[in-house]
Amino acid sequence: MPEGDTVYRTAAALRTALTAQVLTRCDIRVPRFATVDLTGARVDEVFCRGKHLFIRAGRASIHSHLGMDGTWRLGPPRVPDHRIRVILATAENRATGVDLDLLEVLDRSADLAAVAQLGPDLLGPDWDPGPAVANLLAAPDRPLAAALLDQRNLAGIGNVYANELCFVTGVAPGSPVRAVPDPVRLVNRARLMLSTNLTRAIRTTTGDTRRGRELWVYGRAGRDCRRCGTPIRRSDDGPRISFWCPSCQR
């Protein structure tokens, strides 16, 4: 599933392509909203909250979530029509939502109610580590990786970052939240990881962008830990795959 930094970059690209332009085509291919036509409306704003993306035009707000495989593409999408959920075009640009997990049209004045359940946005201008820490500590016995992935605690972390954060914190993904020695440092590291990767073509948590050296543990089952040489382990138990070093992460 795309992580918060991917959604942030997607919103930035759509903002550049659509903002302050009038829609010349609005083709929504979700049955519930298929009759909605925003042609003639001006796109005023494009922004994201966690992994949710909003395009405000006229009195409406197009709310989308990429899910596991969704993308927004600029220009000709070159995909089969049945994968397209929405097409938005202006005199200059075209944006196509492909394989979106969620696509709905909301009343602009109340669109943020759709994400009211989210915790603090790691990439948001109003980021505050305090509530994020409080949310995590409210369930101290919950497995750390699951708590980090819960967007109600803090918004923007996907499975790659969850595993990498567990490693740099020195705690196994299945260990309880209470095992984290410094929760404030944990959430600030999460923000740093996402924000640092906003301008990188290759996502890295190690600081090394060379091919095959970008990540500490994610996707590296059976390979040597970069710190101690112990083989990285993988677990398929639970809703998400976990990777960890049994020596570095207690």
CA distance 184 to 164: 16
CA angle 220, 221, 224 (to 5 degrees): 70
Residue 53 in tokens: 């993306």
What domains sit in the chain, N to C, each tagged with a CATH number? 4-115 (3.20.190.10), 129-244 (1.10.8.50)
Q: What percent of the chain has pLDDT over 70?
A: 100
* Active-site residue, from 2, 77, 120, 129: 2
Per-chain mean pLDDT for the chain: 96
* Active-site residue, from 3, 77, 129, 214: 3
The pLDDT value recorded for residue 1 is 64
92 catalytically annotated: no
Look up the pTM and report it. Answer: 0.94
Interval 163-167 mean pLDDT: 98
Instruction: Write the DSSP symbol of residue 193.
Output: H
181 catalytically annotated: no
pLDDT at 133 over 70: yes
For residue 244, the Cα-to-chain-centroid distance in whole angstroms is: 22
Find out whether 197 and 209 touch, Cβ atoms under 8 Å: no
2 catalytically annotated: yes
- Residue that the structure tokens 């049209």 belong to: 105
pLDDT at 159 over 90: yes
CA distance 101 to 51: 11
* Active-site residue, from 51, 77, 173, 183: 51
Give the burial class of 151: count Cβ atoms within 10 A of its Cβ; 0-12 exposed, 13-18 middle, 19 or more buried. Answer: buried
Residue partners of 35: CB distance under 8 A and separation at least 6: none
pLDDT at 2 over 90: no
The pLDDT value recorded for residue 250 is 81
Find out whether 99 and 83 touch, Cβ atoms under 8 Å: yes
CA distance 247 to 249: 6
